[in-house]
């Protein structure tokens, strides 16, 4: 039997991601003896999950008024968004937050505390007394999944969302279109779901709504991506009139064509309508080559008409027009940071992936940023060298993910602009059956990178907590 209140047994000291403040008050009790609970009305949607969690540890609870309950899920209007606390005293647990997500995170922490407390069985269970106060370092804690290359079923997507929720990830960026596949069944481009390079599969509107509903129930916002003007070979194969010279092998849309711009806006409108409750839409904007534009009569005529100097300026005009269209629909546009140094109005979010200096460059333009620098947060990079991967990729270990810091360079210049982080999983070499193996091992480290303050992060302590939760059967169960 573990020694009482040892580091390994102390349930307050084994939480991932590391809380903002933890204080021991001394003492402990056996939580299997708890028998009553009360949940404020705001959190009624979490009741089933809470009761099932407790039942998993053979705790038989009945609902009572707050003044007689031993476990209380309580609203604290003074807390900020996603802030939560836990007060654990002899035979009583009080969890507080001001919103649903805050209480969800309090419950994920309680689940971890229960896992440690019940590690040796109900008879020996020992829950440490003390207080926890916690809130996230970053409000944006995202994960991007590429479903355009290799396809994932709705059930797999829902399983991924369950895992993300367990580690307090609150944004699911869904990459749905690319050169090798178009996964959305839309009325405006219905034939696109018939042609794929790697494997077949598409999402009906009903299935998209099913994913959105499941994500919402887990406190996760779904952000669709329609990648333009590059990464567009799949749509061009079906609609060659969208490209320069009607070349079906092109990867870039003809950005000088008014007809192409109108067609793209029709697609954007349908995607925005489908993701009706979502405040964001990602429209790509990366890795487009100018080769076809430079020799396209339509593009060159547009450059002359608009008095631009080159194709990059026309690309800038195209992307500006698309971001303004998104804004006109009441949404916030997101674009990938790009090598050509194009700038966007301050209401456009820029997802920085190229290098650690990119957030500084973007912040100078007044844009908010998402930190996704590839050598720290691209989960398609191999965790070990034996994994299938591109020849130019290097190893991205769990520790490499853990050490990521969006404020790593010139923090005083980016502190107000970085919304948060987003890990990305591109799937050129990741079929559906390898998805979870690419995510599970590194996600706890990413969770702490996205949530916890630097002062509370320490690699060896993270390893200790992870090992203890693994030994308690929790991490392998997610």
In angstroms, how far is the first alpha carbon of the chain from the final one? Answer: 26
DSSP string, 149-176: SS---HHHHHHHHHHHHHTT--EEEEE-
Cα 256 to Cα 318: distance, rounded to the nearest angstrom: 8
36-39 sheet: strands from edge to edge: 21-29, 127-134, 84-89, 92-97, 71-75, 36-39, 62-63
For residue 305, with 0-12 CB atoms within 10 Å meaning exposed, 13-18 middle and 19 or more buried, which class applies?
Answer: exposed
Per-residue pLDDT, averaged over 392-401, amounts to 93
**pLDDT tens-place string over residues 129-139:** 999 999 999 99
DSSP string, 239-283: -GGGSGGG-TT-SS--TT-HHHHHHHHHHHHHHHHHTTT-SEEEE
Per-residue pLDDT, averaged over 396-416, amounts to 91
% of the chain surpassing 90 pLDDT: 83
For residue 333, with 0-12 CB atoms within 10 Å meaning exposed, 13-18 middle and 19 or more buried, which class applies?
Answer: buried
What's the confidence (pLDDT) of residue 126?
95
**Mean pLDDT of all residues belonging to the chain:** 93
Residue 340 pLDDT greater than 80, yes or no: no
What's the confidence (pLDDT) of residue 477?
55
% of the chain surpassing 70 pLDDT: 96
Residue 83 pLDDT greater than 70, yes or no: yes
Beta bridge partners of 145: 174, 425
Q: H-helix or E-strand containing 470?
A: helix 459-471
Whether 318 contacts 255, CB under 8 Å: yes
Q: How far is CA 243 from CA 236, 298, 315, 446, in A?
A: 7, 10, 14, 39
Q: Which tokens sit at 375? A: 């050598």
Residue 390 pLDDT greater than 90, yes or no: no
Per-residue pLDDT, averaged over 171-180, amounts to 96
Per-residue pLDDT, averaged over 266-295, amounts to 95
Q: Which of 9-13, 120-124, 125-129, 195-199 has the highest mean pLDDT?
A: 125-129
What's the confidence (pLDDT) of residue 264?
97
Cα–Cα nearest to 157, from 139, 141, 144: 144
Whether 227 contacts 284, CB under 8 Å: yes
Burial string for 41-70 (b: 16+ CB within 10 Å, else e) reads ebbeebeeebbebbeebebebeeeeeeebb
What's the confidence (pLDDT) of residue 1?
42
pLDDT band at 200 (very low <50, low <70, confident <90, very high): confident
The radius of gyration computed from the CA coordinates of the chain, to the nearest angstrom, equals: 24
What's the confidence (pLDDT) of residue 2?
44
**pLDDT tens-place string over residues 204-249:** 999 999 999 999 999 999 999 999 999 999 999 889 999 999 888 8
Cα 181 to Cα 239: distance, rounded to the nearest angstrom: 14
* φ/ψ (deg, to 5) at 256: -90, -10
Cα 369 to Cα 349: distance, rounded to the nearest angstrom: 6
User: Does this model's pTM top 0.85?
Assistant: yes
Whether 105 contacts 127, CB under 8 Å: no
Question: Would you tell me how many other CB atoms lie within 10 Å of the CB of residue 263?
Answer: 18
Residue 84 pLDDT greater than 90, yes or no: yes
**DSSP-based three-state secondary structure for 18:** coil
DSSP string, 120-156: T-GGG--EEEEEEEE--S-SEEEEEEE-SSS---HHH
Per-residue pLDDT, averaged over 404-425, amounts to 92
* φ/ψ (deg, to 5) at 125: -60, 140
pLDDT band at 3 (very low <50, low <70, confident <90, very high): very low
Cα–Cα nearest to 71, from 17, 29, 9, 115: 29
Cα–Cα nearest to 377, from 398, 362, 361: 398
Domains of the chain: 11-136 (3.30.379.10), 140-451 (3.20.20.80)
pLDDT band at 6 (very low <50, low <70, confident <90, very high): low
């Amino acid at each position: 039997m573990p020694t009482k209140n040892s580091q390994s047994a102390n349930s307050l000291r084994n939480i991932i991601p590391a809380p903002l403040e933890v204080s021991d008050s001394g003492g402990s009790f056996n939580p299997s003896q708890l028998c009553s609970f009360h949940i404020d009305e705001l959190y009624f949607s979490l009741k089933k999950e809470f009761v099932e969690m407790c039942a998993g540890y053979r705790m038989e609870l009945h609902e009572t008024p707050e003044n007689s309950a031993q476990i209380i899920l309580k609203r604290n209007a003074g807390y900020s968004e996603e802030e939560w606390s836990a007060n654990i005293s002899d035979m009583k647990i009080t969890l507080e937050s001001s919103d649903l997500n805050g209480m969800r995170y309090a419950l994920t922490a309680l689940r971890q505390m229960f896992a440690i407390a019940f590690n040796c069985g109900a008879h020996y269970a020992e829950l440490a007394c003390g207080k926890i106060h916690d809130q996230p370092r970053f409000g944006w804690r995202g994960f991007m999944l590429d479903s355009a290359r290799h396809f994932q079923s709705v059930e797999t997507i829902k399983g991924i969302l369950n895992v993300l929720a367990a580690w307090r990830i609150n944004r699911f960026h869904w990459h749905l279109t690319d050169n090798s596949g178009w996964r959305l069944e839309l009325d405006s481009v219905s034939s696109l779901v018939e042609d794929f390079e790697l494997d077949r599969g598409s999402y009906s509107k009903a299935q998209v709504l099913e994913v959105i509903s499941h994500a919402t129930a887990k406190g996760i916002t779904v952000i669709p991506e329609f990648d333009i003007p590059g990464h567009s070979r799949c749509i061009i194969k079906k609609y060659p009139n969208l490209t320069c010279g009607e070349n079906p092998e092109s990867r870039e849309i003809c950005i000088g064509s008014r007809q192409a711009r109108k067609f793209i806006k029709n697609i954007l409108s349908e995607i925005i309508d489908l993701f009706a409750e979502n405040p964001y839409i990602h429209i790509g904007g990366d890795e487009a080559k100018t080769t076809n534009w430079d020799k396209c009569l339509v593009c060159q005529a547009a450059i002359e008409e608009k008095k631009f100097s080159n194709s990059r300026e026309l690309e800038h005009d195209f992307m500006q027009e698309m971001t303004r269209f998104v804004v006109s629909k009441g949404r916030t546009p997101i674009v990938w940071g790009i090598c050509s140094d194009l700038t966007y109005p301050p209401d456009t979010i820029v997802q920085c992936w190229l290098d650690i200096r990119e957030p500084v460059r973007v912040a100078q333009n007044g844009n908010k940023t998402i930190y996704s620098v590839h050598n720290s947060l691209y989960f398609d990079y191999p965790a070990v060298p034996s994994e299938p991967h591109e020849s130019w990729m290097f190893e991205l270990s769990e520790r490499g993910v853990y050490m990521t810091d969006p404020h790593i360079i010139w923090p005083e210049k980016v502190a107000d602009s970085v919304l948060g982080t987003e890990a990305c999983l591109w799937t050129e070499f990741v079929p559906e059956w390898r998805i979870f193996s690419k995510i599970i091992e590194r996600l706890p480290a990413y969770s702490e990178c996205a949530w916890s303050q630097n002062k509370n992060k320490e690699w060896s302590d993270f390893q200790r907590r992870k090992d203890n939760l693994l030994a308690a059967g929790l991490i392998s169960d997610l």
